[in-house]
A = this chain, B = another copy of it.
Amino acid sequence: MAEELSFPTGIGTSDADQIRLLGQDLAADLMGKVGFGELAFWLVAGRRPTPSETRVFETVLVALADHGFTPTAIAARVTYVSAPEALQGALAAGLLGGGSRFLGVTEDAGRFLAEVLAGVAEVPSDDAGWDALATAAVTEAREARRFVPGLGHPVHKVQDPRTPVLIRIADEEGLRGPHLRLFEAIGRVHPAILGRTLPLNGAGVCGAALADLGLPVDLLRGFALLARAAGLLGHLAEERRTGLGMEIYRTVDRNARYTP
């Protein structure tokens, strides 16, 4: 059966003379003229970010690039020990830990905030208004026995140092929008509702900031993964020099206790 095939895309194509990317000529219009973070934003959002948006966006990527010996870093390192000839496998193994428990918080927080905002006719115009909206949202989550994403951190029990810095930078760039405002309000009102004071964590504030940049909430996890890809390359570069993954493996193996 002869058929007409057509696979339309606005990302990129190439022919003998030109590589097109996002409606631009890659070599003539993009190389040397657009930063890598700027391009990543453009690829997902379908529009070029402003310099202010790029600054906030790259700040988020920097904030999420690494968080020490997380499961993602451990998985990448032991996989590299086992298959050093396939760097792509070690990187992929690390990224596969980017799920609900660790990197997923960024997306969960962005989605939670976006859903609350989708339910109001008009966004509040002052802190009292934000606090009222946050109080309703946290109360509802509590009653549904759901966590509020972005609240609490196993290590930073009082304050996550990333949170105020990202809010300040977004403010400097005129991008402290409704998702961040709502997130901040949650930080103010939740103690009275939940009976304890939790920090607004870094992953959550990053989700709020990304949502304020107009990026699709269903893909926020993708930016956490992109940021972590850079962090994992750092771990793998160090692994190549120091062989820590082998130490991790040996430590686990020699302390195995057989309990059938």
Task: Say how far A178's CB is from chain B's closest CB, in angstroms.
Answer: 21
Residues of B within 8 A of A96 (CB): 79, 83, 86, 88-90, 92-93, 96
CB proximity to B under 8 Å, residues A143-165: 155-159, 161-162, 164-165
CB proximity to B under 8 Å, residues A86-116: 86-93, 95-104
Are A36 and B67 in contact (CB-based, < 8 A)? no
Q: Number of copies of this chain in the oligomer?
A: 4
Residues of B within 8 A of A235 (CB): 9, 11
**Size bracket, chain A contacts:** 35 or more
Q: Does A31 contact B (CB under 8 A)?
A: yes
Q: What 0/1 readout, one digit per residue, does chain A (22-58) give for beta carbons within 8 Å of chain B?
A: 1101111011101111011001111000000001001
Q: Does A124 contact B (CB under 8 A)?
A: no
Most B CB within 10 A of own CB, among A4, A85, A231, A251: A251
Are B31 and A63 in contact (CB-based, < 8 A)? yes
Are A93 and B67 in contact (CB-based, < 8 A)? no
Which residues of A are interface residues toward B (Cβ below 8 A)?
1-23, 25-28, 30-32, 34-37, 39-40, 43-46, 55, 58-59, 61-63, 65-75, 78-79, 81-93, 95-104, 155-159, 161-162, 164-166, 169, 202, 216, 218-219, 221-223, 225-227, 229-231, 233-238, 240, 242, 244-245, 247-249, 251-253, 255-260
